[in-house]
Amino acid sequence: MVSDDGHSASRKPKTVPLTSISKFFNMIKDSVIFQVVDESSEGQRIDNFLIKLLKGVPKSHIYRIVRSGEVRVNSRRIDVVYRLMPGDRVRIPPVRMGQPPAVPKKSSVVQVRVVFEDDALLVVDKPSGLAVHGGSGVSFGLIEQIRSSRPHAKCLELVHRLDRETSGLIMIAKKRRALVLLHEMIRKGQVHKFYWALVKGSVQETHFEINVPLKKYALASGERRVQVEAGGQESRTVFTCKAVCDEFTLLEAELKTGRTHQIRVHLAHKGHPIAGDDKYGDYSYNAGLAKQGLKRMFLHARTLRFGHPLTGEPLALEAPLPVDLEIFYKSIPWQGL
């Protein structure tokens, strides 16, 4: 006797709570697995659900097993754009996966300060030098570190990103619904992000906006860069001068769009690159700043203002300047301060 999922009734497929990644990796190689969807995956597309679950399996293979009907939801064939609902029972066929994600050594763990946390949302103050996720030569980033420290959390997903060199506030969703709503709020301009940037030279305007198209490109080494170019994506940043002297200006930047390296490219385009920026700044100038004590890019995600995605409660979160940036800032002879 054969069930509607293609397995004999004498070999009942396993329904697995994913409490152990290593056990799951071993089981999925040899037998059909059934995974019951909870609220942490509500609204997620089946392809993205499987890509996250079956780490190490090529995306092309995941799409093939969905389209061939080997993956089923509630015993029915589905398309790759199907969105999951709580209680859905997902049939996952045997697949050969890569190695389970490595757990970092304690010596490699970077201490991260929690600024806000409840059942749906986690906001942390990311230090400079810590990538937000693994990849591009980084095996273990912020999100992997947080997931490793909270092995029983059902959902921990980055809401947005910061460059590795940039410090400051970053949001992590603890519920799928919070993630979806925050992404929608960001698209509608309902999440207000403010950065502090120290730039080269004296900026004369007290308040100004930069609105130029940005386009990504890659160097011969494969490193990604961004430049101002007609036909690129719309990008808008509003700047307010906080302090000025002959050599530096401290600016507050409010993102109106969220393009890669947006603030860095906008300021370099204006002729005032961010102090310490090794991609779009002045190399010899930065070398001189390093001798004065500024050994990193002076860009900090300082403030987030938004309504809580589930309760609507107004939130105004701040991360003070890190010690190294604060010391350098206070060493500058600002005019009128």
DSSP secondary structure string for all residues of 161-199: ---TT-EEEEEEESSHHHHHHHHHHHHTT-SEEEEEEEE
Is residue 118 annotated as part of the catalytic site, yes or no? Answer: no
Convert the pLDDT of each residue in 237-286 to its tens digit. Answer: 999 999 999 999 999 999 999 999 999 999 999 999 999 999 999 899 99
**Cα gap 298→78, rounded to integer Å:** 49
Of 66, 293, 264, 82, give the one whose Cα is nearest residue 164: 264
pLDDT band of residue 135 (cuts 50, 70, 90) is: low
- The residue with greater pLDDT, 46 or 52, is 46
**What is the pLDDT of the chain when averaged over all its residues?**
86
The mean pLDDT value for 297-311 works out to 97
Q: Tell me the DSSP string of 73-93.
A: ETTEE--TTPBP-TT-EEEE-
Quote the pLDDT of residue 2.
Answer: 35
Q: Which two tokens stand for residue 21?
A: 């990644």
Q: What is residue 203's predicted lDDT score, i.e. its pLDDT?
A: 95
Element (H, E) at 286: helix 283-292
What is the structure's pLDDT at 5? 42
Q: What is the pLDDT of residue 133?
A: 83
Exposed, middle or buried, 322 (CB in 10 Å: 0-12/13-18/19+)?
middle
Residue 21 pLDDT > 80, yes or no? no
Contact 127, 112 (CB under 8 A): yes
Q: Is the pLDDT of residue 6 over 50?
A: no
Domains of the chain: 14-92 (3.10.290.10), 106-330 (3.30.2350.10)
At 235, the pLDDT band (50, 70, 90 cuts) reads very high
pLDDT, residue 104, reads 55
Identify the three-state secondary structure at position 227.
Answer: strand
Q: Which of 5, 163, 246, 324 is catalytic?
A: 163
How far is residue 276's CA from residue 239's CA, in Å, rounded to a whole number? 19
Q: By percentage, how much of the chain surpasses pLDDT 70? A: 85
Q: Give 171-230 pLDDT, tens digit per residue.
A: 999 998 999 999 999 999 999 999 999 999 999 999 999 999 999 998 887 788 999 999
Confidence label for 8 from pLDDT (cuts 50, 70 and 90): very low
pLDDT given for residue 337 in this prediction: 56
Task: Give residue-wise pLDDT tens across range 61-102.
Answer: 888 889 999 999 999 999 988 998 888 999 888 887 655 555
Q: If phi over 0 gives left and psi between -120 and 50 gives alpha, with beta otherwise, what is residue 168?
A: left
* Residue 277 confidence (pLDDT): 96
How many Å apart are CA 266 and CA 209, to the nearest integer? 10
The predicted structure's pLDDT at residue 16:
43
φ/ψ bin of 12: left (φ > 0), alpha (ψ from -120 to 50), beta (otherwise): beta
* Cα–Cα distance list, 150 to 24, 281, 311 (Å): 18, 38, 24
* 3-class DSSP assignment, residue 152: coil
Asked whether residue 22 carries a pLDDT value surpassing 80, the answer given is no
A 10 A CB-CB count for 274 gives: 27
The pLDDT tens digits for 144-172 are 899 888 888 888 999 999 999 999 999 99
What per-residue confidence (pLDDT) applies to 18? 44
